[in-house]
Amino acid sequence: MIFEKAYAKINLALEVGKEVDGYHEVRNYMIPISLYDELFFQKSNINKLECEVNIANNICLRAVELFQEHFKITQGVKITLKKNIPIMAGLAGGSTDAAATLRGLNRLFGVNASTEELYELACRLGSDVPFFLYNKGAMCTGRGEKIEVKDFAFKDVPILIIKPHFGLSTKEVYLNYEYDGIAKDALINKLYEALKDKDYYALDQAIFNDLEKVALGLSPELKAIFSKLEGLSYTPHISGSGPSIFILNAKSKDLENIKAIITDIDMFLCHTI
């Protein structure tokens, strides 16, 4: 049996550009965090996924079929998936599971494919999937599939994830986004400098997400939670298309403070990896 961890991500910079061929161009700086799903792989007569959470059209099985087709593998695979990353959360739980599946199958069948070869398959599964083959801080461009690893040794920084008890559709968020035509080079450079200097106060000010305003506008409930966090003197940030919110350098006592004010949320205290 093969075991893989599938780490979640947060976005420190998400610039969304114009739409090209039905997709928005992005400049998306992401980092992996210690919250992860657990995947177990074993050979089987048929392809099968076992998961306590009912996930329609699970991307893991699509990854299996793509891997089998590409490497001419006829044996089936049983995947046992333990979901710890909440779904529809802006944390890329599905994409990281897909990348972990490619890695797991590569080991299970002794294919020894390079990261570059797995990358080609990852691109066919989804724009965020290639990032999780590297699991390092990276700027992702194009549709998100072009990966430039930029690791600033941003490790073990506490991150509090706040997930409301509802989801947001990524498709709906993008459909409601209007490109403002403003390049974010200066903001990205400011972010890089803060990461390089390990200046976490400056980093908090430099984090941006072009989808944040859209997500907050689509969900009054999310906006209310966001405003309450600001009222508690936190600096909240939306991850991806939401609705998950993250706070840098949070402590255990922050969970208690927030829980006393805000209900109907799940919280995960984790860290960057």
Q: Which of 37, 97, 128, 254 is catalytic?
A: 128
Question: What's the whole-number mean pLDDT along residues 61-81?
Answer: 97
| The predicted structure's pLDDT at residue 75 | 96
CATH 3.30.230.10 domain extents, the chain: 2-149
| The predicted structure's pLDDT at residue 154 | 85
Looking at 3.40.50.300, 3.30.230.10, 3.30.930.10, 3.10.105.10, the CATH number of the domain 2-149 comes to 3.30.230.10
CB atoms within 10 A of CB 236: 18
| The predicted structure's pLDDT at residue 56 | 62
Confidence tier at 181 by pLDDT (50, 70, 90): confident
Question: What's the whole-number mean pLDDT along residues 147-151?
Answer: 94
Question: What's the whole-number mean pLDDT along residues 225-242?
Answer: 96
9 is catalytic: yes
Q: Is the pLDDT of residue 20 over 90?
A: no
CATH of domain 158-271: 3.30.70.890
In degrees, to the nearest 5, what angle opens at C-alpha 7 toward C-alphas 87 and 161?
A: 60
Confidence tier at 208 by pLDDT (50, 70, 90): very high
136 is catalytic: no
CATH 3.30.70.890 domain extents, the chain: 158-271
Task: Report residue 28: phi and psi, to 5°.
Answer: -130, 105
Q: Which of 9, 163, 184, 190 is catalytic?
A: 9
* pTM (2 d.p.): 0.95
| The predicted structure's pLDDT at residue 151 | 87
Q: Where are the alpha helices (DSSP H) in the chain?
A: 59-71, 93-108, 115-125, 170-175, 185-197, 200-206, 212-218, 220-231, 252-261
> Mean pLDDT score of the chain, rounded to an integer?
94
For the stretch 257-262, contacts whose Cβ atoms lie closer than 8 Å and that sit 24 or more positions apart, written own/partner, are 257/232, 258/160, 258/162, 258/229, 258/232, 258/234, 261/228, 261/232, 262/162, 262/225, 262/228, 262/229
Cα 93 off chain centre by = 6
Task: Report residue 144: phi and psi, to 5°.
Answer: 120, -5
Cα 95 off chain centre by = 7
Question: What's the whole-number mean pLDDT along residues 27-39?
Answer: 97
pLDDT tens digit string along 94-131?
Answer: 999 999 999 999 999 999 999 999 999 999 999 999 99
d(CA 227, CA 140): 29
